[in-house]
Structure 1
Amino acid sequence: MERAELVELLSPEGLDLLDSLPAWTGREDVVKTVADLRRRGHSPGLVAAVLTQSRLRARARAKFGEFADRMLFTEPGLEQATRLRVAALHAGRYARAGLRHVADLGCGIGGDALAFAAMDLEVTAADADEVTAAIAAFNLTPFPHAQVLHSAAEEVPLGGIDAAWLDPARRTTAGGTTKRIADAADYSPSLDFAFGLAERMPVGVKLGPGTDRDLVPAGTEAQWVSVDGDVVELAVWTGPLARPGVGRAALVIRGDAAHELVAPADSEDAPVGPLGDYLYEPDGAVIRARLIGDLARANGGWMLSEGIAYLTADREFDSPFARGFRVIERLPADERHLRQALHSRGVGTLEIKKRGVDVDPAALRTRLKLKGDTAATVVLTREEGRHVALLVERL
């Protein structure tokens, strides 16, 4: 979004027009809508701005719920913004540690700052991009104890501030295209700056869940978070924000329930053994946190093959940290015989799950030429190093 476009959007006319639009559904006749708004005398820039915001608000409901309908967004800001449920957990850490004034350095559109402010913490938020900072200021308007600065994170005065939260920019936008930054050294602010602050104050740093683990400083708590099966972040906590004795954590949020698996460090993998009656797929947060071994031992399971994140067991167990499958049958692992086996069972709809095998499930599904009225799930993986195809059903 350009500065001039934002100025139009933040005018009383712009905000009234935005709030007057019906909720975006994706089925709109955009050409007709633009023509109608132009006939009513609205400028092309304002029309484009309000329609963009209407579309972004619709997308943002997945992260912010009904609050999205009173917020403004940028495309990259929404992509990187923390889900409100997760941001509330971040804020809770600072509140429980007795930290009353938090600097949100690189605040983006203000998602985490909103959660801090809603928990009655004083917030000094800052973003280096002028438009993004202005949008964050708009979103934080309901909270008089929150201020937003147009400033680089490195230049924010930290006198009187108790702790910091950083969500380094991991995307760049050029020519209307947003790209992920591959090298952590190019994050803004840098990880050296982010973790360097830990020498001055308690710090929390949000990173992508696939961040190189070697970048996580020793002596910190690394917490991977998944929401409804999607691993959304790695949060690194220092000082009193880190829990004593916790070096690795997997927080699994499904619906309104949250469960956590913690350990002092990476857990040792469980022994490898033959396929049992049940197969288990650990949640992505558990896999990222390398706590699969602890999960297996806690439930009487073992690894199906070395280095592959499937567990197996002879008994059924229920865990929020894994999805379970009953093993119905072994099928031929080679493609030709697998096709014949599925045809003989009348399988026309097939879910293909895979780990440790080089196969494109969509392409394989096409080659199998499925016909029939039966739906099935097949797992392609390795058992003690050997390729296997397993017909399973979800527990």
Structure 2
Amino acid sequence: MAPHPLSACGRRPAGAAAPRTRSPAWPTARLADNGPVTEEPPGLAPLLTPEGQALLAQVRDHDPSHELALATRLRRDHPAGLVSAALGQARLRQRAVAKFGAEDAHRMYFTPNGVEQATRSAVAAHRAARLRALGVRRVTDLCCGIGGDAVELARAGIAVTAVDKDPMTAEIAAANVRALAPAGPPAEVVCADATTYDLTGAQALFVDPARRRGSGRVFDPEAYAPPLSWAIDAVRRTGLGAIKIAPGIPHELVPDDFAAEWVSHGGDVKEAVLWHAPGLPPARTATLLPEGAEVTAAGLPDPAVRPPGRYLYEPDGAVIRAHLIAEATTALPDAGLLDETIAYVTSDTLHRTPFTTAYEITDVLPFNLKRLKALLREREVGILTVKKRGSAVEPEEFRRKLKLKGKNETTVFLTRVAGAPSMLLGNPAPK
């Protein structure tokens, strides 16, 4: 591998001691200039000692609201810095359970940004399985973050080289792959700048550009780090790969030689992915996890607008983002849209489809807060789920104004029906 400058990972201050070396352990983070294998940075290294591991186990399920008292007690027997590091990791692990599950999350290490930006494990496992189905056996994972995708690639039997330019993040990624995929194929984590990393010999790429800055999310794909155009060119040159992008990307920015996949998990849209491989058609696909249901573009026109029927169907967010309403509702022969600009589908009959959630509608009303308030009071509705599409109403403020009381619950859809602001009341259809 060609050498790369130390500046990709930052230089040691003048006069600082050289990093200690150790015998290689799989996988291990290393500098991209083929420099010495380094010990974990001070923030992580103490936690890997027996004392650090015991302390992590002790604070695993602590209540953050009682953290000050706990820290005071623990500092009687442990160094203050180690206690702070353990409590910090414990908090991050608790946040990570939603993405990684308790068993994995409490064996991993995180940074605050790493928890926020890491791929959910079920989504990463889906992507790894798809890469393996394409015949991939070696992946270069650029901008790997804390290593969530690298872990699932290794678990899928794919050799992985993970690259991140932040030294601490690279060391954390190495620790996470060691912890969660110790018996996998060869893997390494390299501290380097993705844009200057030597991709010679790479079989496939996975690129996960940073889409956040200090001020928040980045919506312009050319403001990603690295820019989307760079990632597209890198995958094209390699010949096979995938690029993780924001699900709100305009369709016109998807290259003609890439397929686009929108992925949801548990009904929440998580990401979009651009795929490039020999012979892979440039299709649009929506994938719903954990079920694994998929629907692909077939060039169907959107359903016609029709009056509200007995049932309302709310398409999964991935279906909406992929513009696949028609393909996802082909099982609904009498279906139509409530409004030509709104992704709510209505029908007189109940049909089960994995791509939509069905509601049985009880009332269709013009938008009128006072009328709705009176109706909900009459029906003793105390719990109201507010769903909106094509409405400027803020759900929390709307719910507060209704002053709900009662033992019953229902759902209100604030939307448009043939252009007119409307309210539809209903409940999940019987299964």
TM-score, scaled relative to structure 2: 0.84
**Does the 8 Å contact 1:282/1:323 carry over to 2?**
yes
Residue equivalent to 1:235: 273
Root-mean-square deviation over aligned CA pairs: 2.0
36 and 108 in structure 1: CA distance in 2 versus 1, 3 angstrom threshold = same
Deviation digits for residues 17-52 of structure 1 (CA, Å, limit 9, x no counterpart): 32x32432545510121112210031x322111111
Match of 1:74 among 99, 108, 111: 111
2:141 to 87, 91, 104: 104
Contact 2:366 2:420 (C-alpha < 8 Å) held by counterparts: no
Report what 2:34 is aligned to. Answer: none
Q: 8 Å contact 1:222–1:247 — kept in the other structure? A: yes
Match status 1:200 vs 2:237 = yes
Is 1:166 the equivalent of 2:200?
no
Task: In structure 2, give the amino acid aligned to 1:309.
Answer: A
The answer to whether the aligner puts 1:17 opposite 2:55 as a matched pair is yes
1:221 — aligned with what? 259
* 1:53 equivalenced with 2:89 (yes/no): yes
Q: Name which of 265, 268, 275 aligns with 2:308.
A: 275
Query: Deviation of residue 211 (structure 1)?
Result: 2.4
| Counterpart Cα distance in 2 of 1:219 and 1:348 | 52
What is aligned with 2:355? Answer: 321
AA at the equivalent of 1:251: T
Q: 2:331·2:351 contact (CA, 8 Å) conserved in 1?
A: no
> How much has 1:390 moved relative to structure 2?
1.6
Provide the residue aligned with 2:12 in structure 1: none
Gaps of 5+ in 1: none
Q: In structure 2, how many angstroms separate the alpha carbons of the residues matched to 1:361 and 1:209?
A: 23
> Can you list the C-alpha shifts for 1:358-382, whole angstroms capped at 9, x where unaligned?
2112111221222333222222211
| Equivalent residue in structure 1 for 2:345, among 311, 317, 334 | 311
SS in 1 for 2:342: coil
Displacement after TM superposition at 1:182 (Å) = 3.4
Aligned partner of 1:352: which letter? V
- 1:370 is aligned with what amino acid? L
C-alpha separation between the residues in 2 aligned to 1:286 and 1:362? 26
Partners of 1:260 and 1:155 lie apart in 2 by 36
Where does residue 151 of structure 2 map in the other structure? 114
Distance 1:354 1:263, change over 3 A: same
| Separation of aligned partners in 2, 1:59 and 1:223 | 27
Establish whether residue 302 from structure 1 lines up as the match of residue 336 from structure 2.
yes
- Code of the residue aligned with 1:145 in structure 2: it is P
Q: Report deviation, 1:186.
A: 2.1
Tell me which amino acid in the other structure corresponds to 1:394.
P
Match of 2:187 among 122, 128, 146: 146
Question: Residue 156 in 1 paired to residue 197 in 2?
Answer: yes
Alignment partner, residue 285 of structure 1 = 318
Look up the equivalent residue of 1:63 and give its one-letter code: K
Alignment correspondent of 1:92:
129
Q: For 1:40 and 1:51, how far apart are their aligned partners in 2? A: 15
Deviations 1:194-236 (A, max 9, x none): 1001322212001121223332211211111110111001011
Output the CA distance in 2 between the equivalents of 1:273 and 1:371: 34
Q: Which runs of 4+ in 1 moved over 4 A?
A: none
Tell me what 1:388 maps to: 422
Which residue identity does 1:61 align to in structure 2?
V
Structure number with greater CO (CA < 8 Å, separation at least 6) is 2
Q: Give the match for residue 41 of structure 1.
A: 78
Cross-structure match for 1:136: 173
The answer to whether the 8 Å contact 1:348/1:372 transfers is: yes
Extract unaligned runs of 5+ from structure 2: 1-39
